[in-house]
Amino acid sequence: MAEAAKKSIDQATLEMIEKAAKDGCNIVFDRAETMKPCPIGAEGSCCRICSMGPCRVPLPKGREETPEEKRKRRGVCGATAETISARNFVRMIAAGTAAHADHGRTMLELFKATAEGKAEGFAIKDEQKLLQLAMDLGVKIGERANNEIALDISNVLMEQYRQQEGELIFLKRAPLKRQEIWRREGVAPRGIDREVVEMMHRTHMGVDQDYESLLQQGARTSLADGWGGSMIGTDIQDILFGAPAPVAGQINLGVLKADQVNIIVHGHEPQLAEMLAVVSQEPEMLKYAESKGAKGINLAGMCCTANEVLMRHGLPIAGNFLQQELAIVTGALEAMVVDVQCIMQAIEEAAKCYHTRILTTNPRAHIRGAEHVEFDEHNAVEAARKIVRMAIDNFPNRKGNVQIPDIKTDLVAGFSHETINYLMGGMFRASYRPLNDNIINGRIRGVAGVVGCNNARTTHDEAHLLMVKELIKNDVLVLQTGCAAMALAKAGLMVPEAASKYAGAGLAEVCETVGIPPVLHMGACVDNSRILVAATAMVKEGGLGDDISDLPAAGAAPEWMSEKAIAIGQYFVASGVYTVFGTTWPTTGSPELSEFLFKDMETKYGGKWAFEPDPVKAAQMMIAHIDAKRKALGIDKSRERVLYDMAMRRELG
Ligand code: NFS
Ligand code: SF4
């Protein structure tokens, strides 16, 4: 039992780990024990990009390496440990950027088809955001119909992928000083696809063999994610499905229902889940479910897809990354419908222990042994109905080993940039002014983005919880996305009541006045672009410096695992944010390269990487950084005042 407790801090997860063992079902937590990571690969010292290798150049353990050893630490072609490590690192950025970029591209294709009237079931939901984006992009509005405007927008944004020269258009959204830094460092991305292709070229055998130069293109590629592919994805999703506003929801495996057809939609692109949400409640579908003995159809989300539909519809979340097999282990899941990214191949094997049907839907992502129902913008309604029917047909096949943990937690989500603007400033004077003022007067010490994955190499959800608790206790307002957000939601910190329970006096005061939790759910991982926009809004509001790097702010991904997380971390760093990662660090095999990431990057970008596996220590590093920024802004003195008198309270209101 003591061993089991090390796997997760989440009771529902522990309960299902136990059930899986009883049912003889092998899951990720078991495999993490038998499959130990290769120590050479883990430190970034393995190169396998040509067939003279794989070459291993590990750092000597337990002692400093001699200069002679360092000189000789090379692959067959002579590539140094620094080059090898840097190539591995920037290839992660390229892959992560490609994933987000392709997600954004799919959204644009859907958007275009919708504008042309070729996507049945989809419509432009958020006119205000459409018009705002048209203005940002210089698309003519006049008397034109929304569909015409949308078509122009889709063409302009699609060009962002193809573009070979110039700069990505969304860079203009950043503070002016930030744009100058990007130009000075030569990292303003030219076109989204171009940067990813060039990164792959430069890391081919025998091309770019200077780690500084590799990391420069790494930064440029990552910016094509944050201020490119991801930002396009977020904006278009908001236009098609509505910009999120505060919404109540529930999370954890307890959202599955014993007497209903349970369908989980897992992955990243929201259009599939949006359509399933509609068709699963059609009267004919409900009748069909009834005919098979079910009391209804229960649709829940997993991973980022879950965040997307939670933010917009309050649809329940079954769990985060490490819980995907466990939803199957309940024995009550009729279908797991997946699209792209973060889908473990293991779900297909786990499904064999139970009755679950695994349905892949995206032409890019097949799983051997799973059933495939292709879903695209042209057949969405029809495909969604087919999927729901397949799930209903499977309801009578349950094997009797059903056990759903009676555990679920309430949460409030939907804190988009627009929402924060509105909540802070009010409908008629929407602004970040009150947020900035509360940072300046010291009630809020600073802002931290805590994002990213779960990782089977560390206790599930624990680092997220410990880090965020430490931050809010010290009056740092926390913004979250992805699986990190789900960890805190499960722990009960995403309700307004959490402020008085967990936050420091200053932060609690502000949260209680505005009526928000101390930990704000901003969406899926592509929505990290919302954090960039929010940070920029804080800069533009005034009083906190003239660049993102001046803000008393920091970022973290304490349980990261995916290449997307590295791409996100790098675009935060290149946007001026101090960013701390936990779990493991992929360049420890090259101290020189690590030093560059952890120190020298700051002189270039005003932001830098840090690695600290202890989440409380990492939080303290973030707080120290925030305090240093407060000092530089000359607002460090205001925090010395701790007591609030009535006048101050009134002023807060
Ligand atoms: Ni983000 Fe979302 Fe989760 Fe990590 Fe995967 S689901 S895009 S990559 S694991 S946070
Ligand atoms: Fe080895 Fe060089 Fe080939 Fe890499 S590129 S595998 S270091 S020979």
Nearest one of 582, 488, 549, 590 to 74, comparing CA atoms: 590
Domain range for 16: 4-70
The CATH number covering residue 151 comes to 1.20.1270.30
Is the pTM for the entire model greater than 0.85?
yes
Establish if 30 belongs to a structural domain.
yes
Q: Are 34 and 175 part of one and the same domain?
A: no
Looking at residue 5, its pLDDT comes to 79
pLDDT number for residue 425? 73
448 and 518 both lie in a single domain: yes
The values of phi and psi at residue 449, to 5°, are: -95, 115
How many Å apart are CA 303 and CA 430, to the nearest integer? 31
Distance 202 CA to ligand 2 centre (A): 14
Average pLDDT, consecutive stretches of 10 residues, N- to C-terminus, the chain (653 residues): 82 98 97 96 98 97 93 97 98 98 98 96 96 97 97 98 98 98 98 98 98 98 98 98 95 98 97 95 98 98 95 95 98 98 98 98 98 94 97 97 98 93 75 94 97 98 98 98 98 98 97 95 97 97 97 98 98 98 97 98 98 98 98 88 58 57
**Structure token pair of residue 65:** 């390496």
- Same domain? 235 vs 273: no
Strands 297-302 and 357-360: unpaired
Domain assignment present for 418: no
Nearest ligand by distance to the CA of 57: 2
- Asked whether residue 404 is assigned to any structural domain, the reply reads no
381 & 438 share domain: no
Our mutation pick for probing the ligand 1 site, out of 303, 323, 560, counting the most ligand atoms within 8 A of Cβ, is 303
Any domain includes 485: yes
The pLDDT value recorded for residue 638 is 82
Strands 297-302 and 46-47 come out as: unpaired
Atom of ligand 2 nearest to the CA of 50: 3
- Quote the pLDDT of residue 647: 62
- Split into its structural domains, the chain has a count of 4
d(CA 586, CA 609): 12
Residues 330 and 434 in one domain: no
Verify that 231 and 260 share a domain, yes or no.
no
The pLDDT, as a whole number, for residue 640 is 62
pLDDT score for 146: 97
CA torsion, ordered 609, 611, 612, 615, to nearest 10 deg: 60
Q: From the CA of 342, how far away is ligand 1's center (Å)?
A: 6
Predicted pLDDT at 495: 97
Give, in order, the Cα–Cα distances in Å from 245 to each of 129, 276, 308, 313, 480.
13, 21, 12, 10, 15
In this structure, how many other beta carbons lie within 10 angstroms of the beta carbon of residue 69? 12
For ligand 1, say whether the CB of 483 is within 6 Å of any of its atoms: yes
CATH code of the domain containing 561: 3.40.50.2030
Q: Does ligand 1 lie within 6 Å of residue 482's CB atom?
A: yes
Does 567 sit in the ligand 1 pocket, CB within 6 Å?
A: no
